[in-house]
Amino acid sequence: MKRLHVHVSVADLEASIRFYNGLFASEPTVQKSDYAKWMLDDPRVNFAISTRTAQTGLNHLGIQVDSAEELVEIEQRALQSGLLARAEPGAACCYAQSDKQWITDPQGIVWEAFHTVGEIPYYGGQRKDACCAPTRPVSAPQRCGTPQN
């Protein structure tokens, strides 16, 4: 089963957590110093907020899948539709290890299709500006932040 994913960049994490706790009538499933996530069943959404970017507002949208096969299905649909997609296997992002497909819509909104395979103890790299969503359309090569040893 698939779950809609929405990631919003916020200026004040604590105020935003209070707001979304009230809106969703639920506490975050994951809460870190720079990130919070609600895994809701009504509506079925993975809703995340973070303070990781300078610009606030919509960061990216996505579809979270439960299996590698579902991710391949989304990749195949993108290819059959002529959409520009970029695979990112083994991505370290948002305190999770995931396999991903990145697709950018005609308005420039980034969509992430992903299958989470595990948790990690960091956001997506040791840098404050480590990204998850590409900052350019997927046609331009760019790799998300990876942990620095």
Q: What is the mean pLDDT of the chain?
A: 84
Domains of the chain: 3-119 (3.10.180.10)
Asked if residues 138 and 85 have their Cβ atoms less than 8 Å apart, the reply is yes
Asked if residues 78 and 103 have their Cβ atoms less than 8 Å apart, the reply is yes
Instruction: Return d(Cα 39, Cα 139) in angstroms, integer.
Output: 30
Q: What is the value of pTM for the model shown?
A: 0.75
pLDDT tens for 84-135 read 788 999 998 888 899 999 988 877 888 999 999 998 888 775 444 445 666 5
Q: Which residue has the higher pLDDT, 135 or 33?
A: 33
Instruction: Return d(Cα 33, Cα 87) in angstroms, integer.
Output: 29
